[in-house]
Amino acid sequence: MGTFGFSYVGLIYLLMLFIPNIIWTKHKPIGYDFQGENKILLLFERFGQICVTCCVLIFSDFNIGALSLWSIWLAASFLLMLVYELYWLRYFRGEHTLLNFYRSIGGIPVPGASLPVAAFLLLGIYGKVIWLVISIIILGIGHIGIHLQRLKRLN
């Protein structure tokens, strides 16, 4: 279920997520428009964001414990977060266009949405915290759904 306590791993993940997004607000893609988003997907996204943020900070199960085969879940999760950071580096160094923003990385569609959702899902599995798993599924439905709709409008 989850052990209450502060998660420094959760804080690190949130910083890896929030810092590029804060920088992005000053470098949005040309023509970026969030009007007309599906209200249901937006509700899922917002509710999921709140729940995920709370879960990764209040459950200490995500903190690094004794290394075991189970640690592979954490390593895979962190690898996805590193690829997410590479995605942002590619975007910030390239043209700030919608096509560049939504361009896949390594065959992963809408990586700005997919990578952190997958990383947090694996983190939830690693910590065996069902609340994070449920929360990230809710967030993923909304966040990835919104990004796929925007990408579809471009094509």
For residue 53, tell me if it sits in a domain. yes
Q: Considering the domain boundaries, does residue 115 fall inside one? A: yes
Q: What is the pLDDT of residue 35?
A: 82
Phi and psi (nearest 5°) for 108?
-85, 115
Q: In this predicted model, what pLDDT tens digit does every residue of 39-97 receive, in sequence order?
A: 999 999 999 999 999 999 999 999 999 999 999 999 999 999 999 999 999 999 999 99
Q: Is residue 1 part of a domain?
A: no
Helix then strand count (H, E) for the chain reads 6, 0
For the residues 10-23, what does the mean pLDDT come to?
98
130: in domain: yes
Closest CA to 60 of 135, 1, 128, 5: 5
133 belongs to a structural domain: yes
Residue 3 lies in a domain: no
Which helix (DSSP H) or strand (DSSP E) does residue 60 occupy?
none
Q: What is the pLDDT of residues 91-128, one digit of tens each?
A: 999 999 999 999 999 999 999 999 999 999 999 999 99
Domain count, the chain: 1
Of residues 134, 119, 115, the one with CA closest to residue 76 = 119
pLDDT category of residue 134 using cuts at 50, 70 and 90:
very high
Q: How far apart, in whole angstroms, are the C-alpha atoms of residue 94 and residue 132?
A: 33
Q: What is the pLDDT of residue 151?
A: 92
Q: What is the DSSP letter of 63?
A: S
- Residue 93 within a domain: yes
Domain limits at 70? 8-154
Residue 110 lies in a domain: yes
